[in-house]
Chains A and B, each alone.
Chain A
Amino acid sequence: MTTTEHGGDRDRRLSPADVQNVMFSRGAFRRGYDDHEVDSFLDRVEYELTRLIAEKAELRDHVQALEQQIATDGSTPAQPPTAQAVRILSAAQQTADQYVADAESYSRRLASEAREQYEQIVEQAREQADALLQHTRQQAANGAVGPVGAIAGDARTTEELQAQVVYLQAFAQACRTQLRSYLEALLTDVEAEWGRADPNALPPSRANGRPTRLSGAHPADDVVDLRR
């Protein structure tokens, strides 16, 4: 049987309509298949194809429904996993966990040891630097070295003198501040005691005539004001 319409079109699916519309070429002397047989066979093919297509659609719907059911209600897998399967997977998971834990603990130890070493090395380097500096200064001070050392010694002396000047200045400043606050506290005390003993005895002009009063505002002024 040859089909004039579909011979070169193998990819196209055969539909019942194709079967129905198919034209068979006839032999010149009416040789070939019996027309009636061919027709009845084609009827059966048509019927069969229709049935298959319907069945396929039905199955597709069924698959979709099942997929949807699994998606919305995961409690319907075909078979719950067996206890053996669960055991095997659990053992595998535990092995994997152990490997990861080992790797993490190794990396933890390595990192903490590295940090300790780093800190030790930095500390040692600092100590060495300090010691070296100390040593150089001492040598220079002793004048035990040659001309280069002498220059270094001079530099050090200048440096040292400058440092001493700065120190002394700071010390003087600190003394002054301390002394000032001490004196002012003393004055406040004296005034408070005086006022308490005899409020009227405080001369109104006393604040102006205070000989030891140092410049700058002081909380003691408030005390005096309150009493006036």
Chain B
Amino acid sequence: MDIAAMRASFSKAAEAGDEAPLYFYSHLFLSHPETRGMFPVSMAHQRDRLFTALGEVMARVDDLDALVPILQQLGRDHRKFGTLAAHYPAVGASLLATLEHFDDTWNAELAADWTAAYQLIAKVMVEAADAASDQPPWWDAKVLTHELRGIDTAVLQVQPQVVLPFKAGQSVSVETERRPRLWRYYSIANAPRPDNILELHVQAQDGGPVSSALVRHVSAGDVLRLGSPVGQLTLDPDSRRDLLLVAGGTGLAPLKALVDQVARQGPPRRVDLFVGARTEDRLYDLRDLRRLEQELPWLTVTPAVSDDPRSSLERGDVSEVCLRHGPWTNRDVFVAGSRQTVRDTVARLTALGTPAESIRTEVFAPSRPGPTLEGEVTS
């Protein structure tokens, strides 16, 4: 297999920008019209993602040890889109047609190499999907409660009809039938419970189709589809150290799940939770956090507001406020929030002696369409 030549032909297609994936999907839908229903109405974001993903696969094609787990994860995750083994050859044919279309020097050897490479990729993905067939491709979950907190945040309690196994701190992708074929990731705000109920915190992003629908249109009784859980923001089972949790906005959700896990399973440890927002109104879960603080003697909750002169809460950016209460050199640290919150917090903590390896982070970007190839939820 001439990997250099394959990379060259791929980069020719990639250089064509949007044209190449546009060609690919049109070719696919014309030759296999039944695949169109698996995609959302607007394909704009989908097109970006396809070639980004393919590019990352191509970059690792000579490092199978790194590539195989990524492909396996992709294969498992694609089950929720309704992908069947029968769809893989269809995609392969259209991919080859696209590469050929954008490559003047396309030849039989390249075609053979690409066919072989694609068959390998498809085989790994299909096998991983088959191996995961003991789990449902997605979980139907009924919305039990839907509570608006402030003008653009909602806290939902949903109950999957089949047990959804996950670890505290992980996220699931969510689809609502009001926005078909658009999946977005949301963190579960509790540890696994016997009644299988999950709490989700959703902030409506301006113009965000899924988040707006989840906050403003979904109500109790609706059924959401959940994908399989992902994410690394989980407690280290071998560590008994105290915890420092720093949350901005709905980054609170996975950290609240960690508090819940310590409460349910231990081991006993001190937990300091800092949660920040611009104004006090935006601290959408403060009442429940105060209740937890009353119930759990080992938990300290410190809310912070960065731009609210009337508030009696601590002022400042949450990273700043958390540092004021330091030092935090001996903690397992978890940070979740906007890119800036995560960056500032990590920078400040490491500058004051917290080892970088004891910090785990998750960036809550406005649109979280899916995990990257590394399996990270952050985009």
Contact = CB atoms under 8 A, between A and B. Distances in A.
Contact of B26 (A73, A77, A86): A86
A44 interface: no
Interface residues of A, number: 31
Contacts of B31: 74, 77, 80-81
A90 B26 contact: yes
Given A77-B31, A97-B44, A111 B207 contact: yes
Nearest to A97: B44
Nearest to B98: A86
A111 B44 contact: no
Nearest to A83: B101
B27 A81 contact: yes
A134 interface: no
A107 B23 contact: no
A169 to B, nearest CB: 20
Given A85-B30, A111-B206, A74 B41 contact: no
B375 interface: no
A96 interface: yes
A101 B310 contact: no
B22 interface: yes
A96 B42 contact: yes
Contacts of A77: 31-32
A112 interface: yes
A104 B207 contact: yes
Contacts of B41: 96, 100
Interface in B205-233: 206-209, 212
A75 B44 contact: no
Contacts of B212: 107, 111
B42 A100 contact: yes
B89 A72 contact: yes
Contact of B152 (A75, A108, A115): A115
Contacts of B43: 93, 96-97
B152 A74 contact: no
Interface string A92-106: 011011001100111
B373 interface: no
A34 B148 CA distance: 92
Contact of B93 (A74, A87, A97, A101): A74
B53 interface: no
B48 to A, nearest CB: 11
A77 B41 CA distance: 25
A38 to B, nearest CB: 53
A93 B310 CA distance: 50
Contacts of B32: 74, 77
B151 interface: yes
Contacts of B209: 104
A86 B27 contact: yes
A115 B25 contact: no
Nearest to B46: A97
Contact of B86 (A72, A87, A89): A72
Given A74-B32, A81-B31, A108 B93 contact: no
Contact of B89 (A75, A108, A126): A75
B207 A90 contact: no
Given A94-B22, A97-B42, A115-B152, A74 B204 contact: no
A74 B31 CA distance: 9
Contacts of A17: none
B278 to A, nearest CB: 10
Given A81-B30, A90-B22, A74 B87 contact: yes
Contacts of A83: 101
A24 interface: no
A66 B296 CA distance: 66
Interface string B5-40: 000000000000000001101110111100000000
Interface string B292-319: 0000000000000000001000000000
A47 interface: no
Contacts of A100: 41-42, 44
Contacts of B204: 111
Give the one of A96, A111, A112 with max B CB within 10 A. A111
B90 interface: yes
Nearest to A82: B30
B29 A89 contact: yes
Contacts of B207: 104-109, 111
A106 B30 CA distance: 31
Interface string B91-122: 01100010001000000000000000000000
A89 B25 CA distance: 9
Contacts of B89: 72-75
Given A94-B22, A111-B152, 17 more contacts: A73-B89, A74-B92, A74-B93, A75-B90, A81-B26, A81-B30, A81-B31, A86-B27, A93-B22, A97-B43, A100-B41, A100-B42, A100-B44, A101-B42, A107-B212, A115-B152, A118-B151
9 contacts: A72-B89, A74-B32, A75-B93, A81-B26, A81-B30, A81-B31, A86-B26, A96-B41, A112-B206
Interface of B: 22-23, 25-27, 29-32, 41-44, 86-90, 92-93, 97, 101, 151-152, 204, 206-209, 212, 310
Sorted nearest first, the 4 A-B pairs with minimum C-beta distance are: A108-B207, A74-B90, A100-B42, A81-B30
